[in-house]
Each structure stands twice: as C-alpha cells, then as structure tokens.
Amino acid sequence: MATRKTTEEIYRQALTMISPGTPIRESIAAIIQGRTGALICIGDPKRLSELSEGGVRVDAPCTPQLLYELAKMDGAIILTKDGRRIMFANRFLKPDTSIPSDETGTRHRVAERIARQAKCVVVAVSERRSVVTLYVHNTKHVMDSIPTLLNKAGQAIQTLEKYIYVLKETMQELSVREFQDMVTIFDVCGAIQRYEMVVRIAAELEPYILELGTEGRLISLQVKELMLPADEASLIIKDYFRDRPGVTFEQLREKISEISQQDLLNLGSISQALGYGPNLRSVDAYLTPRGYRLLTTTHRLPPQIIENLVERFGSLKQIIRAPRDDLDRVEGVGEVLAERVRVSLDLLRNQLALDRR
C-alpha cells in the first residue's frame, strides 16, 4: 500500500522541481526576463481540469522552450504531478471564491485558492514585479533570487562553523571529564544543548540548498564536511539518561529533539527530559557514563560488542578498571579484542591530555 506524502515532503519536492538546473526553473527565468508572467499548476490533471475551463490540450513533454512560449498566452498552464508533462495551457481557473485569501493581485489570489482546493502546487510569476511565489497546499513561499539565497546560506554556514567549533571543544572537555570520572549534569546538558543547536542550524540550511538546486551543491558539501557524526548526541543521552519504568532511550531522544528553540536555551529542560528534574543544582553528585560514546569513538567496535561490555560492567569507569581477563570473558570480545579495547582507551586518554596542554 502506497504511503501518503506529508505536506512537508510535497513542499520539498516542489522546491526541487523548480530549483535551478531544472526545466521549469529555466522557463521561469525566461518568463521573468520576458516580463510576461505565468500561472503554472502542478498536480492531478483530472482534478485541475475540473476546476478550470477553456484553453488547449497540449499533452507534451515539459521543455523550457515550450513552457515559456505557452506562458505568453493568458490563463494557466497545467502540468502533471511530477512536472514532466504539460497537459493544458491557456486554462481559465475557477476556484471556490469562499476560500479565504490575503492576496491582492488576481493571479496570486487564484493561485492560492487553487493550491488549497486542489491540494496541488502552483507557481505564480508576477509580470510587473518579477517575483516568483510558490503555493503548496496551504503553504506560501516567496522565492528569493539566487544571489540572495547564496548570501543567506553563506551567513548560515558561518554561524554553523562557529557553533561546531564550540561543540568540538565541549565534546573534548566532556571526554576528559569522563576519564577523570568528574562529569556533572551541567556538562551533560551543555553538550546535548550544543549538539542540538548545531543540528537545528544545519536543518535551516536545507531549504536554501533545495531552493538553490545545482547552485547549492558546494554548500551541501560544506555542511556534510562540517557536521559531526549524527549519533553523537544520541550516545550522550544513552550514556546518562536515568532509567525509569516505561521510559525508553528512543522516547527520550525524540523528546529532546522536540524541545522548542526557546526551551533549549534552558539546560533545566534537557535535565528534566533525562530524568534528573529541572533544577540542575539539586543534582550535586557526579554522573558516571555507561561508556557508549567513548567506546564508539575509540575503536569502532560493533554496537553489539559495546552493548555487551556495558551490560557486563555497567559503566565506563568499571570497563577502564577491568582486568584484561574479565574483558576477555565478555561475549564476542576475546583475548585480542580485549587488549585492543584497553590500548584504545589509554591512547584516547593520552591524546586528550596532550590536546589539552
């Protein structure tokens, strides 16, 4: 059974269809240059034909040249859902006039109503202002020019770089404290907070990259290069969350990712999600990590081996102190791997000490 796409997925698909490097965007550029304006509907042709009349049936592949020429005529152009075929041109749209619209121009008012009524994508190109407006169901988005988008994306990249620099320092400090067995709730919540902020800034770049299309490839590569491993925050949560009946790690991870931007600034929100309460000062004891994050960092051990080690010893502190023979007896470890775990942890501890100096 085919799953229904969410509005967000349809919106992303719409941005991709009209981004630079696509036939529709090429024709939009020509329409703007020719100052002709256009109304392009992308959706179910049958449904859209029921909400329109007149015009001509085209039923031809969508090419930039054809789309541009058809835009010279009055009326709307109707494309299939994937935007690959032009079905009708010069169509007079008849949306339900009772559907509310804040638009003042006739073309944009019709575009907004059709998008809402037919649950489709409509691109309105303003003839006088040369502005491209995208309507996706109930969502409206005024598209920026490529130079403006590149400028916005560049500023976001600079912000992301600064946050990642601070995040790396925070993670390094957390690792040092874990080896010293001196981790506080402030350290844990601060690291999770920093990581969540980085993830959210990176997410803000995604619409720019989608809208830029082929022009956004370098920015996409920059983001991938900058980002830390995606499971870093998850491993911190897994290391420190307080066990409670009926509460799983997966539920906590989702709960923390859903904390609002405003509440994320308050470390108490993260502490409460982890199970320690909103008042961080009431947590006066040091916290002992289970060891998931550092074991993942040190030697790229298989997840099941790490799980077995944590289950057997209970904490990173006990794993570090365990004799090689005890490590050897853990299921899946063996003599050789036991020695490599010990050596890897020692090397990481020494490296952190050198970096700190």
* Structural domain ending residue among the three candidates 289, 312, 327: 289
Report the predicted TM-score, pTM, of the whole model to 2 decimal places: 0.78
| C-alpha span between 11 and 284 (Å, rounded) | 47
Q: Judge if 48 and 156 occupy the same domain.
A: no
Q: Judge if 169 and 138 occupy the same domain.
A: no
What is the per-residue pLDDT across 15-31, written as a single tens digit (0 to 9) for each?
A: 889 988 899 999 999 99
Domain of 37, CATH number, reads 3.40.1700.10
Q: Judge if 71 and 204 occupy the same domain.
A: no
Asked whether residue 266 is assigned to any structural domain, the reply reads yes
User: What is the phi/psi pair of residue 142, to 5°?
Assistant: -90, 120
- Angle of CA points 28, 7, 84, to nearest 5°: 40
| C-alpha span between 325 and 311 (Å, rounded) | 17
| C-alpha span between 273 and 260 (Å, rounded) | 13
**pLDDT values of the chain reduced to their tens digit, one per residue, 357 residues:** 344 677 788 888 898 899 888 999 999 999 998 888 999 999 999 999 999 999 999 999 999 999 999 999 989 999 999 999 999 999 999 999 999 998 988 899 999 999 999 999 999 998 888 899 999 999 999 998 889 999 999 999 999 999 999 999 999 999 999 999 899 999 999 999 999 999 999 988 988 998 898 888 888 898 888 887 667 888 999 999 988 888 888 888 899 999 999 999 999 999 999 989 888 877 777 899 999 999 888 766 788 889 999 999 999 999 989 888 888 888 888 888 888 888 888 888 888 888 776
| C-alpha span between 270 and 248 (Å, rounded) | 16
- Give the helix/strand (H/E) hosting 219: helix 217-226
Asked whether residue 161 is assigned to any structural domain, the reply reads yes
Residue 333 · residue 305 · CB < 8 Å: yes
Tally the domains of the chain.
3
77: left (phi over 0), alpha (psi -120 to 50) or beta: beta
Q: Judge if 107 and 12 occupy the same domain.
A: yes
Other beta carbons less than 10 A from residue 81's beta carbon: 15
Asked whether residue 133 is assigned to any structural domain, the reply reads yes
Predicted confidence at residue 1, as pLDDT, reads 39
Predicted confidence at residue 2, as pLDDT, reads 43
Q: Judge if 164 and 274 occupy the same domain.
A: yes
Other beta carbons less than 10 A from residue 153's beta carbon: 24
Q: Judge if 153 and 277 occupy the same domain.
A: yes
Q: Which residues contact 264 (CB under 8 A, 6 or more apart)?
A: 193, 196, 197, 270
Asked whether residue 2 is assigned to any structural domain, the reply reads no
Predicted confidence at residue 171, as pLDDT, reads 92
Q: Judge if 202 and 259 occupy the same domain.
A: yes
Domain of 193, CATH number, reads 1.20.1260.110
Q: Judge if 130 and 169 occupy the same domain.
A: no
Q: Which residues contact 128 (CB under 8 A, 6 or more apart)?
A: 37
Asked whether residue 192 is assigned to any structural domain, the reply reads yes
Asked whether residue 187 is assigned to any structural domain, the reply reads yes
First vs last C-alpha separation in the chain: 59
Other beta carbons less than 10 A from residue 172's beta carbon: 14
Residue 103 · residue 124 · CB < 8 Å: no
Q: Judge if 174 and 113 occupy the same domain.
A: no
* Structural domain ending residue among the three candidates 143, 178, 202: 143
Residue 39 · residue 134 · CB < 8 Å: no
Question: CA 279 → CA 113, 193, 268, distances in Å?
Answer: 49, 16, 6
Domain span at 210: 146-289
Residues β-bridged to residue 124: 39, 133
Kindly provide the b/e burial profile for residues 260-291, where b requires at least 16 CB atoms within 10 angstroms of the residue's own CB.
eeeebebbbbbbbbbebeeebeebeeebbbbb
Q: Judge if 88 and 65 occupy the same domain.
A: yes
Residues β-bridged to residue 57: 88
User: What is the phi/psi pair of residue 122, to 5°?
Assistant: -130, 130
Predicted confidence at residue 299, as pLDDT, reads 64
Domain of 300, CATH number, reads 1.10.150.20
Q: Judge if 49 and 132 occupy the same domain.
A: yes
Q: Judge if 345 and 231 occupy the same domain.
A: no
Asked whether residue 28 is assigned to any structural domain, the reply reads yes
Asked whether residue 1 is assigned to any structural domain, the reply reads no
* Structural domain ending residue among the three candidates 143, 161, 176: 143
What share of the chain has pLDDT > 70, as a percent? 97
